[in-house]
Amino acid sequence: MDICIDLLLKFKDGLKSLNNKYLLEYVDYCIEKVKRDKLEVAFVGEVSTGKSTLINALLGKDLLPIGIGPTTLKLAYIKKDNIDTVTVHYKDDSIKVFKVKKDIIEKISKDENVEDFEISLKDFPFERIAFVDTIGVGDIENMEQITYTYLPLADAIVLVVDVAKLLTSQQKELLETAEAYKSKIFIVFNKMDMVLDEYTNLEALKEEISADTKQILTIYK
């Protein structure tokens, strides 16, 4: 592992003369991926599709901040460890460790000085898997480029679609951007409970979702 990291660091030094911010960030992500040594499952989608809510449900706890509008403004890694901590990586390369509390996580997520952060949990259900809560596509600060840059590094991508909105222009753009990684994309239609009252029966909703899925398959044919 140390040899791989050393090679990547040397590669990064050689790229600095190109002055390509995104390429350098990509190498940084590669270095972090080697360090983590876990399969990373990225939860991706438009703003307010319920990515964080879905992760909270899978974890069985109210951990990540949720709400209307952008709530995830930094990449958040959630993984298993021997102690519950939040490790914050700042843009000035400093690192701080905090207790796992929802209000602290919410504050960190909105801190402009934060690069990304890791949440370590003793009761995380998977030993060799980490969840990654990504920045929503189409947020007001136009930060989705961070998500797009991260996509090649994810081992699996869970595309969360709000069933009430189905395929918006933002979702289609995300699908088209992620087309190169289609073999590792899994689609989750979320917020089903919020639209059931709008349909006379469940079959009508299933038909609409089926039609939407066909559009996705058309993009990925």
Q: What is the pLDDT of residue 199?
A: 62
State pLDDT tens for residues 2-54.
677 788 888 888 888 877 777 787 788 777 777 767 789 999 888 878 888 89
Token output for 142: 């136009």
Q: What is the pLDDT of residue 190?
A: 77
Q: What is the pLDDT of residue 23?
A: 79
CA dist., res. 97 & res. 93, Å (int):
13
Q: What is the pLDDT of residue 181?
A: 79
Single out the residue of 91, 75, 90 nearest to residue 36, CA to CA.
75
| Residues lower than pLDDT 50 in the chain | none
What kind and span of H or E run contains 159? strand 156-162
Q: What is the pLDDT of residue 132?
A: 93
DSSP label at residue 43: E
User: CA distances (Å), 57 to each of 41, 61, 68, 105, 118, in order?
Assistant: 15, 7, 17, 17, 18
